[in-house]
Amino acid sequence: MFRAAFSDMFNKNSHNATNSFNTTYNTYHVAEAQSRILQWLSPLEPWDRHQDVASTRVEGIGAWIFEKPEFKSWLRRKEDGEPVDATLFCSGAPGAGKTYMW
């Protein structure tokens, strides 16, 4: 789907497009287009930060959160048969370790 849509759009938008584009499909152009589209969505790369945080956390710390009724209710979206809000807020003072809960 992406390749078809990209091909259509590429031919429509590129001054360098030729009629033989579809038969000389260049995966480099696809990767380049994907990269530009993702950059257009946002220049941020949050998963890089996640890697940094996760690499410094200590295994097992904070696992108590899974036993909290509020967490279980949020995950199930129900509490005693009643719907629970989609948002759960984890509150903590600076240095309490909020970031390392992720």
Partner 1 sequence: MRLTNSSVSSLIIDALCDNTARLNDSRVIEASSGDETSGLKVGVACLYCDYHYQTQQVATSMIGGLLKQFVIALPEIPDEIVQAFYASKEHLGGRGIRPPKILELFPQVLSRFRETFICIDALDELLLEQRAELLRLLKQVLQKSPTTRMLLTGRPQIYNELPKNLTRSAGMIVIQPSKEDIKAFIAAKLDNDPDPEVMTEQLKSEIMAYIPDHFSEM
What residues make contact with partner 1 under the rule CB under 8 A? 1-6, 9, 12-13, 34, 36-38, 40-47, 49-51, 53-55, 57-66, 68, 70-78, 84-94, 96-102
Beta carbon of residue 95, minimum distance to partner 1 (angstroms, whole number):
9
- 45 strand-pairing partners: none
Cα separation, 73 vs 61, in Å, equals 21
Return the CA Rg of the chain: 23
Beta carbon of residue 71, minimum distance to partner 1 (angstroms, whole number):
6
Beta carbon of residue 18, minimum distance to partner 1 (angstroms, whole number):
18
Interhelix angle for 27-41 vs 2-13, to 10°?
90
19/46 with CB nearer partner 1:
46
18/75 with CB nearer partner 1:
75
Q: Is 83 helix (H, G, I), strand (E, B) or coil?
A: strand
Beta carbon of residue 66, minimum distance to partner 1 (angstroms, whole number):
5
The DSSP symbol for 97 reads S
10 Å Cβ neighbour count for 10?
Answer: 19
